[in-house]
Amino acid sequence: MFNARAYSATSSTSPLASTTIARRDPTENDVQIEILFCGICHSDLHTVRNEWAAVMPTVYPCVPGHEIVGRVTKVGSAVTGFKPGDLAGVGCLVDSDGTCPACKEGLEQFCPGMTLTYNSPDKHTGGVTYGGYSDSIVVDQRFALHIPANLDLAAAAPLLCAGITTYSPMHHWGVGAGKKVGIVGLGGLGHMGVKFAHAMGAHTVVFTTSPSKVEDAIRLGADEVVISRDAAQMQKHANSFDFILDCVSADHDINAYIQLLGRDGNMTLVGAPEKPLSLSSFGLIFGRKSVSGSPIGGLKETQEMLDFCGEHNITSDVEVIAIQQVNEAYERLLKADVKYRFSIDMASLKS
């Protein structure tokens, strides 16, 4: 074991603060990474504040962070894909059983034995896993990803969660040329959704509660922008969408979007608000519409998404911050005031 610097929360009401955690020494299949940047996902905030207590109660101290980019410092004797000095990324998963049907299909996110990057039982230490608000991490080589060399590292970090979480359902539901696609909520996930939908060739419509984000939405790739609190603007799009991706972190009316789907249209929820959402069955029945969910993505698809970003020069729009600003960043996240992802420069942990 060795000591790593990190930021952790010790309860659902305490701010994140500097601490020291123990990491395992790399075993033969492990890669040790010096973390350079880590994005701030709204899931970090939900977890730190124990807002998902009913599904995944938080174990404290909690070190969040699952949008990790860094440089490999050590590799185990059986590691083949990485060597010291290489860039590497780590997303929301750090382990899975490797043998179940989901793992065999490269869908580790559905493995019953998968281990999340933070707040999951850690089979190596006997405690819980600690995430990327830290100067280093050690992961099995299967869960380390290659970062295309042309991408800015601070802006590439959010691809590891916000990127794959939006890319995967769009791929699954056939987003592409000739499709009308809606993105609800222009935050970290939403702005990546806009970039992907645009790059995939879809007619892309952003739904936002923030009039101040209209110009940005167009710059990011939207063909149209709708202020979702304006009923008349919403009504103009009734029954017209093939696919809508809901990226909202708080309670909101999803029925207002279901009525915008065309026949057989699908709305996928990736946003995970604290409280259950209400759903009118009539909205789905007339039109044979569907609502589904989607969690992150498997390792194969995550690498494919990173390579797609390399080819199309897609990264996140980031505000780079020092770790000491993390609590302030959380407050801004709650006010939908981030353009469009915070990325923590981990060099600040040393100061």
Give whichever of 296 and 318 is closer to ligand NAP, judged by the CB atom.
296
Q: How far is the CB of 58 from ligand NAP (least distance, A)?
A: 13
Whichever of 147 and 161 has its CB closer to Zn ion, that residue is 161
| Shortest distance, position 189 Cβ to Zn ion, whole Å | 8
Q: How many angstroms separate the CA atoms of 310 and 89, rounded?
A: 14
Residue 25 CB contacts under 8 Å (≥ 6 apart), including other chains: 1, 2, 138
Q: Quick check: helix, strand or coil at residue 125?
A: coil
Return the one option of Zn ion, ligand NAP, none that residue 296 interacts with (CB less than 5 to 8 A, by type): ligand NAP
CB of 306 to Zn ion, least distance (A): 15
Q: How far is the CB of 209 from ligand NAP (least distance, A)?
A: 3
180 CB neighbour count, 10 Å cutoff: 22
In angstroms, rounded to a whole number, what is the distance separating the alpha carbons of residues 87 and 15? 31
- Rounded to whole angstroms, the Cα distance separating 33 from 55 reads 30
* Residue of minimal Cβ distance to Zn ion: 41
Binding partner of residue 203 among ligand NAP, Zn ion, none, CB cut-off 5 to 8 Å per kind: none
Residues 123-152 as b or e (16 or more Cβ within 10 Å = b): ebeeebbbbbbbbbbbbbbbbbbebbeebe
Length of the chain counted residue by residue = 351
Number of residue whose CB is nearest ligand NAP: 187
Query: Minimum CB separation from Zn ion for residue 39, in Å?
Result: 8
d(CA 5, CA 74) in angstroms, rounded, equals 17
User: Which residue lies nearer to ligand NAP by CB, 213 or 289?
Assistant: 213
Report helix, strand and coil shares of the chain as percent, to nearest 5. 30, 30, 45
If we measure between CA atoms, which residue out of 251, 337, 38, 58 comes closest to residue 162? Answer: 38
Name the minimum Å distance from CB 296 to Zn ion: 7
* CB closer to ligand NAP, 26 vs 65: 65
Decide whether 91 or 265 has the Cβ nearer to Zn ion.
91
Which does residue 210 touch among ligand NAP, Zn ion, none (CB within 5 to 8 A, set by kind)? ligand NAP
**Residue 190: CB minimum distance to ligand NAP, A:** 6
> Residues in the site for ligand NAP, rule: CB under 6 A?
41-43, 46, 161, 165, 185-190, 208-210, 213, 247-250, 252, 270-273, 294-296, 333, 336, 338
How many Å apart are CA 217 and CA 204, to the nearest integer? 10
Residues lying near Zn ion in the complex (CB under 5 A)? 41, 43, 161
Q: Which does 102 bind (CB under 5 to 8 A by kind): Zn ion, ligand NAP, none?
A: none
Cβ proximity to Zn ion, 103 vs 161, nearer residue: 161
Separation CA 265–CA 349 (nearest Å): 46
